[in-house]
Amino acid sequence: MATLQEFSKNFDGKAVPEALSQLLEFQEEAGFECYAQGFGLLCDDKSGLKNGWSNDPAFLGKLMPFAQANSGGSFYALWQYENTVGLHRLPVVIFGDEGGEYIVAENIKGLLQLLTLDVEPIVYEKVSYYKGAGQEPSDYAKNFRKWLKMRFNLDPIEKAEQIVAPAQEKYQATFDAWKQQYFG
């Protein structure tokens, strides 16, 4: 389990966003992958970005991986598209284990709402949060929803598109144009 000090290394010397530091506390009680399928906050040295996408310092300097997105190796990162924007307001990008990079939330609180779906995202030619009919909920999924309402007054969502569609509309084209300078 990562301490807050260890976890803070993900953010390049900047303070850990409050929502993530509180989620880290919750995760310490609930467990890694125990409140949302395949999800867990972790310490990341950017090796996934370096090995799978680009080791250009300008590319790496704008991305802050902070969580496992699914058990296959996909991960979430904050994209620092502008230096004057606080970390808590940065869009969240998923980098897929099979390739693909997609904006999934306008900010961290949007990602927290996505986690209420309690499904592992599938990333291929798009990102999908599909839940099968017989899928059992994570052990602490219900506790997570209560925690989210109590801490941030955020409700669970019914469909991923509620969060993903507006985020992609706002940031995906800009993100795609930015990343093209580092890889095709």
97: its two tokens? 């284990």
pLDDT at 163: 98
What residue spans define the domains of the chain? 4-130+139-179
Q: Does residue 25 surpass a pLDDT of 90?
A: yes
Strand partners, 78: 64, 92
**pLDDT above 90 as % of the chain:** 91
Residue 127 and residue 102 in contact, taking contact as beta carbons nearer than 8 Å: yes
Measure the CA–CA gap between 83 and 138, rounded to whole angstroms. 36
Average pLDDT over residues 97-101: 92
Q: Does residue 165 surpass a pLDDT of 80?
A: yes
Residues 57, 121, 99, 165, CA torsion sign: negative
pLDDT at 1: 64
pLDDT at 77: 98
pLDDT in tens, 122-158: 998 899 999 888 889 999 999 999 999 999 999 999 9
Q: List, in order, residues 6 or more apart from 7 with CB less than 8 Å away.
A: 16, 20, 21, 24, 41, 42, 43, 66
Average pLDDT over residues 72-86: 96
Banded pLDDT at 184 (limits 50, 70, 90): low
Residue 40 and residue 54 in contact, taking contact as beta carbons nearer than 8 Å: no
Average pLDDT over residues 36-64: 96
Measure the CA–CA gap between 101 and 152, rounded to whole angstroms. 28
